[in-house]
Copies of this chain bind each other. A is one copy, B any other.
Amino acid sequence: MSADANITKKERDCIVSIWNGFQNGFPVRVSTLAESMKIRPPTVEELLDRLEGKGLIQRNRGMVVLSEAGRTVYRRIMMDHRALETFLVQCGDDADSACKMVSNFDYLIDERTALLVLKRIGNPALCPHGRQIVEAI
């Protein structure tokens, strides 16, 4: 098992952008996603169609939110991401490089593996950026 609802890198990025865009309390808009992902709105629509097909998001008149399943996927990606990122920083990498590197494959790592890594690095509560490794959302 991977972090897996069987998603691609772009779908992963989109899920993360949807979550980040939501931070202020309002659902993110398609145009905002397009801007933050540096792709055109129709390409975002395409991506959203696929994510909706997988049950990971809900849409309403241009507003986009993660579904319960989508939030679960997000949580998994982030736990995996922050576990590895924290490990790399412990190895001597800087937080930004580690973050960029790990973004390329965090969505491919299974939960079991992430938990093993977390235990090994001492179950820290926070990642190098100061965020909760196991996020409650």
Contacts and interface: CB of A to CB of B under 8 A. Distances in A.
22 contacts: A2-B104, A87-B87, A88-B113, A88-B116, A88-B117, A90-B120, A91-B113, A91-B116, A91-B119, A91-B120, A92-B116, A92-B120, A93-B112, A93-B113, A97-B113, A98-B113, A101-B110, A101-B113, A104-B105, A104-B108, A105-B105, A105-B108
Contacts of A98: 113
A110 B104 CA distance: 11
Contacts of A108: 104-105
Interface of A is mostly: helix
Contacts of A90: 120
